[in-house]
Amino acid sequence: MIDLHCHILPGIDDGAQSDDDSLAMARAAVQQGITTIIATPHHKNGIYENPKQDILGKVAELNKRLQAEKVDLQILPGQEPAITGELAEDFESGQIMTLNDTNYVFVELPSNHVPRYTEKLLYDLQLKGLIPVIVHPERNSEIHERPELLYKLVEKGALAQLTAGSVCGRFGKKIKSFSEQLIEANLVHFIASDAHNVTSRAFHLGQAYDVIEKQYGVDMVYLFTENAELLVEGLNVYKEVPQRVKRKKFLGIF
C-alpha cells in the first residue's frame, strides 16, 4: 500500500517528535502492509513552516535511518500547505513541495470554513500546471453543512483525499457517515492515513480499506489504491463523474 499523507518526519510539526518516533511509525506502517509513504509536514498553517528544501533534507535523513535499521519502507517528499492567498506565488518561489515532485499538490482548508478565494486559488494553481488535492474535506464544518461547495471544486478540476480514520469512525459517527456519503457521491479520489503517531493518530489505512471493501466492494478499493500509485508516478488518476441522482440526493435537491 501507498500512504499519501503522513506526518512521519521528526521534530518539524505536530507529528513524530523524534527520530525514534519516526522509526516507530515506520515499523507500524510496515506491519500494516504499507510500502511507501509520502511525508507531508504542515506548512504555513500559522504554527509550522516547512519549505521544500528543508523537507527534501529531512526525507533523505529518514530514508538513511530506515535503511540502517533494515525497515523496508520508502519515504517520498511531500507537504501539506495550508491554503493562503499567496499559495500560487509560494510555488513559483520554490517554497511549495508537490507530492513526490509531481504536479499534484495538497491544499489544507481551515477546519471551520472554506475561504471565499478558494475556487479562484485552485484555478490559479491549475493554470500553473498543478492538480490541487483537498485534504480531509470530511472534517471541514462548512463542507459538512454545504457539500455542494466540494462538488463545485471537484467539478472544476480539484481532487479530494479522505482520512482513513474518518472512514473507520475514529473522528465520530457524523464524520464517518459524511465520509461514506462522499465516497458514494464519487467526490473523493484518495484514502490516506494522515498519521501523526502510533497511538492517538495512527495509520488505520488497512482497516479503512477493509471497511470500504465490505461496504462498496473490492472495485472501490482498487480505485483508491490504484489512484495512489498513479499519483506517485505523476500519472492521471481515475476521476468518476458523480451520478446525477446520487448527487441530487446528496446535495439535498430532492
Q: Is 106 left (phi over 0), alpha (psi -120 to 50) or beta?
A: beta
Whole-angstrom distance, CA of residue 107 vs CA of residue 212? 24
Domain count within the chain: 1
- B/e letters for 162-191, b = 16+ CB within 10 Å, e = fewer, are bbbbbbbbbbeeebbebbbebbbbbbbbbb
Give the pLDDT means over successive 10-residue stretches in the chain (254 positions): 98 98 98 97 97 98 98 98 96 97 98 96 97 98 96 97 98 96 96 97 97 96 97 91 46 44
pTM for this predicted structure: 0.94
Whole-angstrom distance, CA of residue 55 vs CA of residue 81? 12
For 126, counting Cβ atoms within 10 Å of its Cβ (0-12 exposed, 13-18 middle, 19+ buried), the class is middle
CA distances from 235 to 4, 226, 254 (A): 15, 11, 37
- Give the dihedral sign, CA 200/204/205/209: negative
1-20 per-position pLDDT tens digit: 999 999 999 999 999 999 99
Residue 34 structural domain: 2-250
191-202 per-position pLDDT tens digit: 999 999 999 999
For the domain that residue 206 is a member of, what is the CATH number?
A: 3.20.20.140
Continuous segment of H or E residues that includes residue 131: strand 131-135
